[in-house]
Structure 1
Amino acid sequence: MGLILWIIAAILVIAGIVSLVRGQLLWGAALIVIGLLVGPGGVSIFT
């Protein structure tokens, strides 16, 4: 389960960075924050 959470978190953070580069600041920041919350290193919403 931890590996799946890391993969999801990494995808969300990468998508957030891409959104920031494309100029979608609010959406990019939201994706990065959600990615950090989902990741096992952060405050996971599943535990």
Structure 2
Amino acid sequence: MEFILWIIAVILVVSGIVTIFRGAVLWGIALIVIGLLVGPGGVSIFT
């Protein structure tokens, strides 16, 4: 379960960075913040 959360967090952060480069800064920041909240290495909302 922890590995799956880590993978989801990485996907969210990377897609947030790509979104920022495409011009949607607020949406990209939101994706990065959600990725950091989901990730088991950060502040996980599931623990």
TM-score (structure 2 length as normaliser): 0.96
| Runs of 4 or more consecutive aligned structure 1 residues displaced over 3 Å after TM superposition | none
Q: For residue 15 of structure 1, give the secondary structure of its aligned residue in structure 2.
A: helix
What runs of 5+ residues in structure 2 fail to find an aligned partner? none
1: CA distance, partners of 2:4 / 2:41: 13
Q: Cα RMSD over matched residues?
A: 0.4
Percent sequence identity is 77
2: CA distance, partners of 1:42 / 1:14: 16
Deviation string, structure 1 residues 1-47 (Cα, Å, up to 9, x no partner): 11000000000001100100000000000000000110001110111
2: CA distance, partners of 1:43 / 1:10: 14
| Equivalent residue, structure 2, for 1:40 | 40
| Equivalent residue, structure 2, for 1:4 | 4
Give the aligned length: 47
TM-score (structure 1 length as normaliser): 0.96
